[in-house]
Amino acid sequence: MAIKINISTLLGARKMTMRQLSDLTGIRPNTISNLYYEESKRIEIEHINALCKALQCSVGDIFEYVEDD
C-alpha cells in the first residue's frame, strides 16, 4: 500500500508551475519539488492546508491511497 501524491497532476490541470505554487503557499521550492516527484516522507498539516487553499481542492484530491499489486 502506498499514498500517491497528485501535485504534478493538479499543477498540470491548472497550468501552474512549482515556483508559482511555492509563491502562493509560502512552502519552500525544494519541498514543493519533493511533493511533485513523490519523494516526500512526511508533510506538515499547515502545508496541506496551504496546498488545498492554493489549488482550490480537497485533501483527497492531493493524496490518494493505492493498493500494492
Question: What phi and psi values does residue 27 have, to the nearest 5 degrees?
Answer: -85, 135
Q: Is the pLDDT of residue 49 over 70?
A: yes
Total-model pTM: 0.91
23-33 confidence digits (pLDDT tens):
999 999 999 99
Q: What topology does CATH give the domain 2-66?
A: 434 Repressor (Amino-terminal Domain) (1.10.260)
| Average pLDDT of span 34-53 | 97
Q: Is the pLDDT of residue 22 over 80?
A: yes
How much is the pLDDT for 1? Answer: 65
Q: Is the pLDDT of residue 45 over 80?
A: yes
Within 8 A by CB and 6+ apart from 59, the residues are 48, 52
Domain extents in the chain: 2-66
How much is the pLDDT for 6? Answer: 97
